[in-house]
Structure 1
Amino acid sequence: MAALWRRRERLLRMPGLRLTVRALSGKNEYDLVVIGGGSGGLACAKEAAQFGRKVAVLDYVEPSPQGTKWGLGGTCVNVGCIPKKLMHQAALLGSALKDAQHYGWSIAQPVHHTWSVMAQAVQNYVKSLNWGHRVQLQDKKVKYLNMRGSFSDPHTVRGLTKAGKETIITAENIVIATGGRPKYPTHIAGALEYGITSDDLFWLKESPGKTLVVGASYVSLECAGFLTGIGLDTTVMMRSIPLRGFDQQMASLVTEHMESYGTKFLKRCFPTKVEKLKSNRLKVTWKNTDLGTEETDSFDTVMWAVGRAPDTETLNLETIGVKTNSETGKIIVDASEATSVPHIYAIGDITEGRPELTPTAIAAGKLLARRLFGQSSELMDYDNVPTTVFTPLEYGCVGLSEEAAAQCYGSDNIEVYHAYYKPLEFTVAERDASQCYMKMVCLRESEQRILGLHFIGPNAGEVIQGFALGINRCFSKLSKDLHDFLVLLEYKLTM
């Protein structure tokens, strides 16, 4: 038997032969295989390993159409939260330099920002996180396979390297956590050939220069905001409303502030063509639906921020019976993150009806691993999850927008409390605070349950976390006057 096993090992190592990792007993090689090395997938894998289970992670980054690629960690680490917040911070520092003069600092004018210095620092930090994730997997004895994963059958995953080497692994449980990628408007001539997305922006070595950002999503406004903040000529083209799905009064305040600080907006416009000029600049043609006219301008960079699509095309989900939403392409899961196939689960941005947020993916991944291997029954609570849009003046919210509350309960059954405020740090610098605003959407019934809280101002991301905890734990029902609550909130922000 030992001789036969050694012969089998030699055969498996021969060039051109498919490597199959399957125990001779017929049992599955792994207790858990995770397809996708983003925040949710890594959290699930590491948590499962804590229970002494044999775990593997497959992760492969398909280069963007412009050839951009990155390492382990998924969207948030490489082309999302982390680089975005660091570049947002770079823009905030630019504003702070202007404020500093009012506080006695002598700042030589004009102030100049060097993209390459910022980009190198951000990219180096991201690479350190890539390496850190690999070390953590190794420390927890999680097998990391830099391969594109797809299903052969409900218990079998086919891994394929960049060089075309194939590995077949089997698992008792499989978690899909491949996330999403930016959409390209392929119906627009030149969009794919000449445009970039957020997958590329954060890895540019040189400044994007004069930039057109197409889209009204949070990705669009966040990127346009920090590009303007570091001194670049930036235009946002929006076909319809900004920040669809968010409270529209708050969304309008966000865009008003951006306009007042230099970001240009082409509203109710949509591009029809992108052409490359001899100067290497990009000529964009668009239609203005309000005026019924066709207009053009040239830019150094055109960035598409028109939505994201789940990364499911190469998974072979249809062959194993995993059901997806035909319109969105996202995987349908139940409250326990289970798909339509037993022992196959999905978490994060790839799942239907879940918030596309890193912290929720991480929490869902950990809880799933605990239910599978730790004798836990706790489910992920997706209600009242706070979120923040990192525009120059941040917007944080938790719960329902005013529009959603009116739709759910009827406009006559909701009460909206609101207040403008001026942050103390705006006073000496004489900064405009006309868009610093908060609102609370409540039911009109006697208990006046809070349905949503919305806040625009500095550090909204930090502020909203505390109030989200309050809404979930303490303020879900109030018997006292809510006006007192807002007065207290305003006092705290201005002190």
Structure 2
Amino acid sequence: MFTIKYQILTHMMTFTSINGMILVCHASSSSVCRSAEGQLCAGYKTAFGNTLKAHKDGDLQKLLGEGSKAYDYDLIVIGGGSGGLACSKEAAALGKKVMVLDYVVPTPKGTTWGLGGTCVNVGCIPKKLMHQTALLGTAMEDARKFGWEFSDQVTHNWETMRTAVNNYIGSLNWGYRVSLRDKNVNYVNAYAEFVEPHKIKATNKRGKEMFYTAAKFVLATGERPRYLGIPGDKEYCITSDDLFSLPYCPGKTLVVGASYVALECGGFLAGLGLDVTVMVRSILLRGFDQDMANRAGDCMETHGVKFLRKFVPTKVGACVLISNAAVSLQVLIAVGRDACTGKIGLDKAGVKVNAKNGKIPVNDEEQTSVPHIYAIGDILEGKWELTPVAIQAGKLLARRLFAGASLKCDYVNVPTTVFTPMEYGSCGYPEEKAVEIYGQQNLEIYHSLFWPLEFTVAGRDNNRCYAKIICNKLDNERVIGFHYLGPNAGEVTQGFGAAMKCGITKDQLDNTIGIHPTCAEIFTAMEVTKSSGGDITQSGC
């Protein structure tokens, strides 16, 4: 049995639950009103429902000045990645008492890292830096054509690169800790697990357990690489979680998978001069525009990456282990990532999870099936798995929860880039999805090959770069899909992403003066449609 007493407007109401039966009493009367199971008047039923919900969420205690008594924190964020950090710092800046719990479970190889999540430690940051390392190698090859003379043989030192990259990451880890301290966010390096809807258990690396309560929670636990589930995969293979701090050069490498992680890692390893083969089960870059994905793969082959198609491994043995004896092949698994939701006690909190993939369904305000528990980032079902999306969602969520804001994260027209050797940037719909939604007859697709000026003197990749926009004919040829394969794809795509947010049309692109000579100007001068079958090769300026 429980009883809740609150002053509502000018009336004192007492809500009492006995064996699941909700009863309502007036303070001015000792008579018990009818059961809330459909027999109360509509006004009382609504008041009771709203009051009970507010009590469950912790909002009512706060309204009456009881929040600090009821819970240890206004907000506990589980996960110290980009989204979780953004949300926690924003909430703290709004005057709330906030805790962040973050704990990295070591990989089967024993690899672990500091605060900041996947992006900073084993994702975007080291990936882009190692991609840049590979681009510098290509630039040195081009340099001779531009008149640079150097006679010594050029080699790459893996250990120097790894040390430099990890030193930078270490500085970011420290910076995040300082930033949380400066914002008065309590950071605890411990594994969090729900034991009750408003209570979690935090276990540190020494096994010590502590318990904390909060009015609200944000889940930002991210994902970790998926293994193959075959003999030897965890014993003899590595994932991207291991690669960026690998103490030795991997040498000859087999990349299993065709995800963006697989192609990015395979691409920069080949760019460092290593022998790389990518084993593909079916298609490249599932979920991306397949025309663009295949073109990106073709460019990888041109730059030395081999593809083994329609194969899957069934067993990995010691013969591929790189050890002190240095044998022949390193296997890198990059077949996707799994949400880190299975072992944090969500069942005890009542949070619904997709049993197939561990993803969490949320509404348009990132609210889970439990009203006081929210989720952001890679663990959301049907949302982008991108760091900037998690950051944006985290900030806006904190403002809605604690500052009365109403702006929600926009998951439409999100620009992104795959950092393959020839980079692929996109925003909006892949061609296949656009056809599915709008119908081929209602689309006009403009496209063009092009040859960056920087590549001409070096004599490489002539008409290998490619640009495409997908336009909705039913809406004034509004651009609903943007795709670019070429150098500096992230820098090019970012601006067009902003334009698409503003609803840019083909006519507006045509009336925009291009910056010459650049790659991005191709989007201001595309005339050939796919349906026409016209020639899209470029011969010069």
- Regarding TM over 0.5, the answer is yes
Aligned residue type for 2:481: G
Question: Deviation at 1:433?
Answer: 3.0
Residue of structure 2 equivalent to 1:390? 419
How many residue pairs get aligned? The number is 455
Residue of structure 2 equivalent to 1:134? 177
Question: Deviation at 1:107?
Answer: 2.5
1:66 and 2:95 equivalent?
no
Question: Deviation at 1:26?
Answer: 4.2
Question: Deviation at 1:160?
Answer: 0.3
Task: Please give the per-residue CA displacement for 1:19-39, whole angstroms capped at 9, x wherever unaligned.
Answer: xxxx99742011110000000
1:50 and 2:79 equivalent?
no
Query: For residues 229-378 of structure 1, what are the structure 2 equivalents within 5 Å?
Result: 229-277=271-319, 299-378=328-407
Question: Deviation at 1:108?
Answer: 2.7
- Which shows bigger deviation, 439-448 or 138-147? 439-448
CA–CA distance in 1 between the matches of 2:145 and 2:152? Answer: 14
1:227 and 2:269 equivalent?
yes
- The structure-2 alpha-carbon separation of the partners of 1:482 and 1:363, relative to structure 1 and needing over 3 Å to count, comes to closer
CA–CA distance in 1 between the matches of 2:364 and 2:520? Answer: 40
Query: For residues 173-192 of structure 1, what are the structure 2 equivalents within 5 Å?
Result: 173-186=216-229, 188-192=230-234
CA contact under 8 A between 2:320 and 2:328: conserved in structure 1?
A: no
- The structure-2 alpha-carbon separation of the partners of 1:485 and 1:421, relative to structure 1 and needing over 3 Å to count, comes to farther
1:150 and 2:150 equivalent?
no
CA contact under 8 A between 1:189 and 1:273: conserved in structure 2?
A: yes
Q: 1:461 aligns with which of 481, 484, 490?
A: 490
* SS, match of residue 344 in structure 2: coil
Q: Decide which structure has the larger Cα Rg and report it.
A: 2
Task: Please give the per-residue CA displacement for 1:103-132, whole angstroms capped at 9, x wherever unaligned.
Answer: 111123431001000000001111111110
Residue of structure 2 equivalent to 1:7? none
CA contact under 8 A between 2:321 and 2:329: conserved in structure 1?
A: no
CA–CA distance in 2 between the matches of 1:219 and 1:116? Answer: 22
1:211 and 2:240 equivalent?
no
Task: Please give the per-residue CA displacement for 1:157-209, whole angstroms capped at 9, x wherever unaligned.
Answer: 110011110111111111000000000011x2211210110000001011011
Q: 2:146 aligns with which of 93, 103, 115?
A: 103
Residue of structure 2 equivalent to 1:12? none
Question: Deviation at 1:491?
Answer: 7.2
- The structure-2 alpha-carbon separation of the partners of 1:491 and 1:340, relative to structure 1 and needing over 3 Å to count, comes to closer
Residue of structure 2 equivalent to 1:123? 166
* SS, match of residue 455 in structure 1: strand
* SS, match of residue 181 in structure 1: strand
CA–CA distance in 1 between the matches of 2:218 and 2:86? Answer: 11
CA–CA distance in 1 between the matches of 2:403 and 2:441? Answer: 47
- The structure-2 alpha-carbon separation of the partners of 1:434 and 1:483, relative to structure 1 and needing over 3 Å to count, comes to same
CA contact under 8 A between 1:247 and 1:402: conserved in structure 2?
A: yes
Question: Deviation at 1:280?
Answer: 5.2
* SS, match of residue 118 in structure 2: helix
CA–CA distance in 2 between the matches of 1:353 and 1:422? Answer: 36
Task: Please give the per-residue CA displacement for 1:429-471, whole angstroms capped at 9, x wherever unaligned.
Answer: 1121332000011122361121101000000011000001111
Aligned residue type for 1:334: N
Residue of structure 2 equivalent to 1:405? 434
- % of aligned pairs identical? 56
Question: Deviation at 1:277?
Answer: 2.9
CA contact under 8 A between 2:282 and 2:309: conserved in structure 1?
A: yes
Residue of structure 1 equivalent to 2:459? 430
- State the 4+ residue runs in structure 1 displaced beyond 4 angstroms: 23-26, 278-282, 481-491
Aligned residue type for 1:350: I
CA–CA distance in 1 between the matches of 2:309 and 2:372? Answer: 47
Residue of structure 1 equivalent to 2:526? none
CA contact under 8 A between 1:393 and 1:458: conserved in structure 2?
A: yes
CA–CA distance in 2 between the matches of 1:267 and 1:201? Answer: 23
* SS, match of residue 315 in structure 2: strand
Question: Deviation at 1:342?
Answer: 1.3
Q: 1:84 aligns with which of 112, 127, 135?
A: 127
CA–CA distance in 1 between the matches of 2:475 and 2:216? Answer: 48
* SS, match of residue 258 in structure 1: helix
Aligned residue type for 1:234: V
CA contact under 8 A between 1:417 and 1:483: conserved in structure 2?
A: no
CA–CA distance in 1 between the matches of 2:151 and 2:405? Answer: 60
CA–CA distance in 1 between the matches of 2:330 and 2:249? Answer: 9
Could you tell me which runs of 5 or more consecutive residues in structure 1 were left unpaired when the two chains were aligned.
Answer: 1-22, 283-297
CA contact under 8 A between 1:281 and 1:300: conserved in structure 2?
A: no
- The structure-2 alpha-carbon separation of the partners of 1:117 and 1:278, relative to structure 1 and needing over 3 Å to count, comes to closer
CA–CA distance in 2 between the matches of 1:271 and 1:278? Answer: 13
Question: Deviation at 1:403?
Answer: 0.4
- The structure-2 alpha-carbon separation of the partners of 1:199 and 1:442, relative to structure 1 and needing over 3 Å to count, comes to same
Query: For residues 195-210 of structure 1, what are the structure 2 equivalents within 5 Å?
Result: 195-210=237-252
CA contact under 8 A between 2:479 and 2:503: conserved in structure 1?
A: no
Question: Deviation at 1:487?
Answer: 7.9
* SS, match of residue 378 in structure 1: coil
Task: Please give the per-residue CA displacement for 1:353-382, whole angstroms capped at 9, x wherever unaligned.
Answer: 110000000000000000011110111111
- The structure-2 alpha-carbon separation of the partners of 1:469 and 1:279, relative to structure 1 and needing over 3 Å to count, comes to closer
CA–CA distance in 2 between the matches of 1:74 and 1:363? Answer: 16
CA–CA distance in 2 between the matches of 1:87 and 1:144? Answer: 30
Aligned residue type for 1:322: V
Could you tell me which runs of 5 or more consecutive residues in structure 2 were left unpaired when the two chains were aligned.
Answer: 1-65, 523-539
